[in-house]
A and B are shown apart, each in its own frame.
Chain A
């Protein structure tokens, strides 16, 4: 059985719900729409002026998962092969045919 207090709160809730639905919508004038369109046009002109930056930004986000996987793979390869092999790879890449020790790499 619902208490009288509970029923009073229920009724109050319903009246407030009606008040919520009855609230008047604030209107905006034509100047407001003109202002919005002016800023939209500005946004568009910025996008057109810098299509490469906008495009490359979006491309970077799209490429992010692939880049992460690739980084993990390369990191894994480096981690699994021992340090000397890695140094050998670096020296080969830089065309240094003479033997390179860790000292020469870091204290050059």
Chain B
């Protein structure tokens, strides 16, 4: 049994890491409990739903294997998120290689969603539209047009609001590389969205004429 002051829940992150490095791997369970939700939030944003559990498992294995490389001078959460983001990137690279590339058109529901969006010029329904599953599906379709590297950079920089420098630190890439990829990725995504909006317009014109 642990002494009161030695209870895992009472230890700081640095103390916890020191204990794990000292060979007490049971302390890692506390680390998982503490950061499981945080790690899952990151993973949910970067990998498809069906891969979340395996990616989370892989992330914690990597965290355990490299825990002796953590230096207490840095923020533990940042260190943890860096490993998690890199794991997501690796998982996505493998996923891209294994998936079948099919040119999928928008479904009727997705097209309808897009038409509703285009018709709402005042933007009164935007909050409601953003909550609908079609919004996420269209975003996924747009993201699928990018390479894994472009995708993760776009997600970090444009969708989550990290600066180029922060994203570069998370991915362990150069800032220039991140900025170039972010620019290219956004351009590609906008082109795709523009194309879908144009298609919608075309259909609308067909109905009118």
Question: A and B bound?
Answer: yes
B126 with A18: CB separation less than 8 A: yes
Name B148-200 residues within 8 Å CB distance of A: 155, 158-160, 189-190, 193-194, 197
Interface stretch, picked from A26-34, A61-69, A89-97, is: A26-34
Q: Are B40 and A26 in contact (CB under 8 A)?
A: yes
Tell me the smallest distance from the CB of A25 to a CB of chain B, in Å.
Answer: 5
Q: A17-B159, A22-B131 are in contact. Are A41 and B25 (CB under 8 A)?
A: yes
Q: When chains A and B are docked, how far (Å) is the Cα of A72 from the Cα of B183?
A: 44
- In the complex, the answer to whether B57 meets A20 with C-beta atoms within 8 Å is no
Q: Within 8 Å of chain B (Cβ to Cβ): is A85?
A: no
**For the complex, is B92 an interface residue (Cβ under 8 Å from A)?**
no
Contact with B along A1-42 (1 / 0, CB 8 A): 000010011011111111111111111100011011101110
Beta-carbon contact of A33 and B190 below 8 Å: no
Q: Is the CB of A15 within 8 A of B130?
A: yes
Does B79 have its Cβ within 8 Å of any Cβ on chain A? no
* Contact A20:B197 (CB < 8 A) given known A13-B190, A15-B126: no
Q: With A20-B136, A22-B130 in contact, do A33 and B33 touch (Cβ < 8 Å)?
A: yes
User: Interface-forming stretch among B11-19, B48-56, B82-90?
Assistant: B48-56
- Contact (A25, B36) CB under 8 Å given A17-B159, A19-B136: no
Residues of A within 8 A of B41 (CB): 25
Q: Mark B30-72, 1 if CB is under 8 A from A, else 0.
A: 0011001100110011000100110011001100110000000
B123 part of interface (Cβ distance < 8 Å): yes
A16 near B135 (CB under 8 angstroms)?
Answer: yes
Asked if A17 meets B158 with Cβ closer than 8 Å, knowing A12-B197, A25-B40, A26-B44, the reply is yes
**In the complex, what's the smallest C-beta–C-beta distance from A57 to chain B, in angstroms?**
13
| Residue B204 lies at the interface, judged by CB distance under 8 Å to chain A | no
Contact B142 A16 (CB under 8 A): yes
Q: Are A15 and B53 in contact (CB under 8 A)?
A: no
A17 vs B139: C-alpha distance when bound (angstroms): 8
* CB-CB under 8 A for A26 and B61, given A15-B129, A18-B127, A37-B32: no
Chain B contact residues, CB within 8 Å of chain A = 23, 25, 28-29, 32-33, 36-37, 40-41, 44-45, 49, 52-53, 56-57, 60-61, 64-65, 117-118, 123, 126-127, 129-132, 135-136, 138-139, 142, 155, 158-160, 189-190, 193-194, 197
Known: A8-B118, A13-B158, A26-B49. 4 other contacts (CB 8 A): A8-B197, A19-B135, A20-B155, A28-B40
| 5 interchain pairs, CB-CB under 8 A | A11-B123, A13-B193, A17-B159, A19-B130, A40-B60
